[in-house]
Copies of this chain bind each other. A is one copy, B any other.
Amino acid sequence: MEMDGKILKVDLSSGSSKTIEVEEEILKQYIGGAGLAARLLFDYIKPGMDPFSPSNVIAFMTGPFTGTRVPSGSRYAIAGISARGIWGESTSGGHFGVALKRSGFDGVMITGKAEKPVYLWLHDGEVEIRDASHIWGKDCYETQEMIKKDLGEKGVRVACIGPAGENLVKYACVINDAGRAAGRTGFGTIMGSKNLKAIAAHGDAEIKVADPEKLEEAYNKTMKTNLENPFFHLLSKYGTLGYLDVGYLLSDVPYKYFTETVFPYEAVTQITLMERYSVRSVACYGCPVGCGKVVKYNKRGIEEVDTPEYETVTSLGPLCGNLDLDSLLYINHLCNAYGIDTISMGVSIAFSMYLFEKGVIGENDTGMKLEWGDSDAIIQLVEMTARREGFGDVLAEGVKGIAEKFGVDEEEAAHVKGLEVPMHDPRAFFGQALGYAISGRGACHNRPDWFVFELGQGLPDLGIFPGERFTMEGRVRDFVRYQDFREVYNSLILCNFLMSTPSEVLDLLNAVTGWNFTMDDFVRVGERTVNLKRVINNIMGVTRKDDKLPKIVTKPLTTGSTAGRSPDMEKLLKEYYEARSWDWETGKPRKEKLEELGLGWAVERIYS
Per the 8 Å Cβ criterion, residues 206-240 of A in contact with B are 227-228, 230-231, 233-234, 237
A15 at the interface (CB under 8 A from B): no
A184 CB to nearest chain B CB (Å): 26
On whether the beta carbons of B559 and A460 are closer than 8 Å, the reply is yes
A527 to B457: give the CA distance in the assembly, Å: 38
- The answer to whether A266 and B457 touch (CB under 8 A), given A468-B468, A468-B469, A470-B468, is no
> A469 — which chain B residues lie within 8 A by C-beta?
468
A458 at the interface (CB under 8 A from B): yes
A163 to B264: give the CA distance in the assembly, Å: 47
> A462 — which chain B residues lie within 8 A by C-beta?
none
A598 at the interface (CB under 8 A from B): no
A494 CB to nearest chain B CB (Å): 22
A599 at the interface (CB under 8 A from B): no
Per the 8 Å Cβ criterion, residues 287-346 of A in contact with B are none
Say which one of A49-57, A68-76, A560-568 lies at the interface with B.
A560-568
Per the 8 Å Cβ criterion, residues 238-292 of A in contact with B are 245-246, 248-251, 262-266, 271
A432 CB to nearest chain B CB (Å): 15
On whether the beta carbons of A249 and B468 are closer than 8 Å, the reply is no
- The answer to whether A457 and B230 touch (CB under 8 A), given A246-B246, A271-B237, A471-B471, is no
On whether the beta carbons of B228 and A457 are closer than 8 Å, the reply is no
- Return the chain B residue nearest A244 by Cβ: B230
A458 to B471: give the CA distance in the assembly, Å: 19
How many A residues, CB 8 Å from partner?
A: 36
A460 to B470: give the CA distance in the assembly, Å: 19
A465 at the interface (CB under 8 A from B): yes
> A228 — which chain B residues lie within 8 A by C-beta?
262-266
A390 at the interface (CB under 8 A from B): no
> A251 — which chain B residues lie within 8 A by C-beta?
457
On whether the beta carbons of A458 and B560 are closer than 8 Å, the reply is yes
A266 to B457: give the CA distance in the assembly, Å: 15
On whether the beta carbons of B227 and A466 are closer than 8 Å, the reply is no
A455 at the interface (CB under 8 A from B): yes
A265 to B228: give the CA distance in the assembly, Å: 7
For this complex, 16 residue pairs linking A to B, each with C-beta atoms less than 8 Å apart, are A228-B262, A228-B266, A230-B248, A230-B249, A230-B265, A231-B249, A234-B245, A237-B271, A246-B249, A251-B457, A457-B560, A457-B561, A460-B559, A460-B563, A467-B470, A471-B471
